Amino acid sequence: MEKFIVLIFPLFSILMCVEFAYGWFRQRNTYRLNDALSSLSQGLISQLVALVTQLFQIGLYALVFDYVALFPHAPLWETWYGWIIAVVMFDFCDYWLHRFGHECAVMWAAHMVHHQSQDFNFSTALRQESTVAFIGWIFYLPMAVAGVPPEQFAVAGLIVLLYQFWIHTEHIGKLGWFDRVFSSPSNHRVHHAVNDQYLDKNYGGMLVIWDRLFGTFAEENEACVYGTRSALRSWDPVWAICAEYWTLWNVARQTERWPDKLRVWFKPPGWRPADFLARFPGSQDFDLDEARRLYNPPLTRTAAYIAVAQFVLAVLASAAYLWFADDFSYGRSLLLTGMVISGFWALGAYMQGRLSLLQMGLIDLLGLGCAGWLLWPGLH
């Protein structure tokens, strides 16, 4: 699977270039360099984290399949329609995972990474979460119990995930009957919007019929404003992953009643205990006009070239690591994951002006030296 990610990334890159060129030609560009690099960094970080969290990615599913599956060897799963059933089952389970990701604070803390971008384009599609799997595996267990083999489960998940790439664009309008059955760019723009009427709607990955069945569908009828209601305003990829957990921790720490300290993690996102609201009366305010204000710290042309170069280096390091990941012990994988992520962190800090070129270069050299020490047998 890791090699497949390496092979398909160039295709994604080509499609992003096509979307950018089309938008530029139509004088409706939807890309900003800093935002796109931030989103792509999150996507690669999610793949690096997946390498060291295989227990949650597929391991627990396989365990349930081995011991609990009702029909583990049913001929159905080998037929073409069995594959379609598996994909539809995955999409149904994914709907509920996605929905809980918006309706439960601790799960939103994991999922919100995908929503942090204030732009909506193909790079946003690749802005994937790194910590959802720690809880999300539970939602797919009905497939294991039904007997869907782990390999088929993984491929069905990949199909659903890949499908969602193309629906992250502003350049495709409404598609008539297609919008009523499938997730589409129009439907998914609604999902990413923070407008009141769009909030927590259109969860379907491939099929929007789940939203129509369970009352979470909304039609696109006004301009979408993208992002999250508590805007991140940072290019730091590690902070992006941790920010909402930190917020929940601080709310739990500052509220007085012990039941509320627990509830804040499981209530809907944004819920706050009464005593907290009394102490911080403006903490729930939301202004759509303020949400339209883009976080966009200036980059000089030289700094932009340097940022792209740093990103390319981090991508090459990620690709090499993913390609040879099966050859590494778990301990080495943990260390290599941390080292490559440090390169993406340095990129984000540089784009914010928190690191100089020299400091970013020193971090890269340190990571390269540590990787060499890990991978070169004669050095240890």
Determine contact, residues 119/226, Cβ cutoff 8 Å: yes
For 210, residues 6+ apart whose C-beta sits below 8 A from its C-beta are 91, 92, 95, 203, 204, 216
Q: What residues pair up with 193 in beta bridges, in sequence order?
A: 226
> pLDDT tens digits for 299-328?
999 999 999 999 999 999 999 999 988 888
Segments of the chain with pLDDT less than 50: 378-380
Length in residues, the chain:
380
Per residue in 169-220, pLDDT (tens digit) is: 999 999 999 999 999 999 999 999 999 999 999 999 999 999 999 999 999 9
259: Cα separation from own chain's centroid: 31
Residues 6 or more apart whose Cβ sits within 8 Å of residue 137: 56, 57, 60, 61
Residue 339 CA to residue 314 CA, distance in Å, equals 10
